[in-house]
Amino acid sequence: MGPGGIATIIAASALAIIAISIAYLIIRLGRLVDEAKATLASISSEVNPLIEEVTTTVQLVNGPLESFNRITKSAERITSKLADTTEGFVDNNKTIMKVAGALLGARKMKKAAARPRRKSKSQSE
C-alpha cells in the first residue's frame, strides 16, 4: 500500500468520524426537540386550568365593579343636581344668603363671648 492508499484510508476514516458525529448531534437534537415538546405539553396542560380560573375570577370581580360603577354614576348625578340646585338657589336669593351670613357671624360672636378667657402669665403674677 502506497502513500495514496494510506491517505485514502485516513480521509475515509475522518469522513466516517464526521458522519458519526453529525448523526450523534442529530439524534441529540431530536431528543432535545422531543423533551421540549413534552415540557410544552405539560406546561400547556397545567396552564389551561389556571387560565380558566383567572377568567372565572375576572368575571366574578367584574360583576361587583359594574354595580359599583352604577352607584358612582348615580352619586355623580345626584351631586351635580345638588350643585345645580344650590347654585340656582344662591343666584336667585341674594338676600337670604346675606341673612344666613349675618346669622352665622352672630353665632361665631356668641361662641367667642361664651369662651372663658385665659389670663396670660404676666397678668397672673
For the chain, the domains span 3-113
What is the four-CA torsion angle of 44, 46, 48, 52, rounded to 10 degrees? -170
pLDDT, tens only, 22-49: 999 999 999 999 999 999 999 988 888 8
Residues 120, 113: contact at Cβ < 8 Å?
no
Global pTM reads: 0.40
Per-residue pLDDT, averaged over 103-115, amounts to: 85
Q: What is the pLDDT of residue 26?
A: 96
